[in-house]
Chain A
Amino acid sequence: MTTNWHMVTSTTDVAETDHMTQPKMDQTTEERRKGVRRTVTILVLIVAAFFLVSFVQIVLMK
């Protein structure tokens, strides 16, 4: 029971384990980190823009 989760990941595909070597994993992690950073930056900008737009809307419509 305790090792179930290991079994899940290891039973997926034996041939696939070759790709899961350490450098490959680090590379994936690094790519993900960059991707997340980029996504978050863009989203935060959108948030700020919409917050300001609600005020601009008031000014424009008056």
Chain B
Amino acid sequence: MTSGGIRRSFTAAATLALASFGSVVHAAPGPWQLNMERGASTWSQVPYHLNNISLAVCTVIGILVFGAMFIAMFRFRKSRGAVAEKWSHNTMVEVVWTTIPVIILVVLAYLATGGLTSWADTTGSQMTVKVTGFQWKWRYDYVDYMGKSIDKVSFMSKLDSQSNQTRQLDSGMDPYAVKVGDESTYLLDVDKPLVVPVDTKIRFVITSGDVIHSWWVPATGWKIDAIPGIINAAWANFQTPGTYRGQCAELCGQDHGFMPIVVVVKSKADFATWLAGQEAQSAAPAAPAGASTAAAPQSAQVATVPVSGKQG
């Protein structure tokens, strides 16, 4: 069992190393995935490249240091008749191995600072979406798009019912059977995904209605905490239409593992159609979808009242 698993992992590592470290875009995690995904937004390249560069730097240093160690362990064994020397100092060497890491760090810091500065700049965004975390679902409010404010398009997004049934203790259901098309979406699918347009700088303003959550779609390259009483901002500009999956990344109670995030990126034309449909739906007062989305956040807030009551 064990050796089989290890052997399989070695073969998989060999076959997938190229693919994983290459330029494959993952919309969702894949089995045997070894490296970070490249992501699908303009900025997501930054953490991907930093990850690869720092990993390479660490690997080279590791080979040098551990190599020296293994040579020492081989050459200076008592069993090979090695006699211990007496020296315990070498100022030259010490200066060298303090300076070289500093130089490497300066380079890494330069790269990271540039990437961070571009991340922090949310100006010039063409669309704003407000994200609110609740125990244990997300609420999305569409604030504005292309300079026009959007009226009453908001909904809750929670774990899809198939995953939800399967994940119950002793459900007897197979997590591998939860699929959308060919994709295994167990715990990574929602009833109503966030829909956004491609090629648009989208500003996300993120907060929480109860405890701290963290909104993370790996394809954007970042995660940021949803904190009650605080509004955080970050941006993403998706380059390819598709479905991108993520999860809550800050422990938020019993169902922390069961509040996924799905972002569907549509072409601008498709998005305009979708948005118009949503606006029409919420404008018609009798529409069932509109009623349920309007009611859901209220009930969620009511549910949090005892919590804040306890704190107060």
Is there direct touching of A and B in the complex, by C-beta distance under 8 Å?
A: no
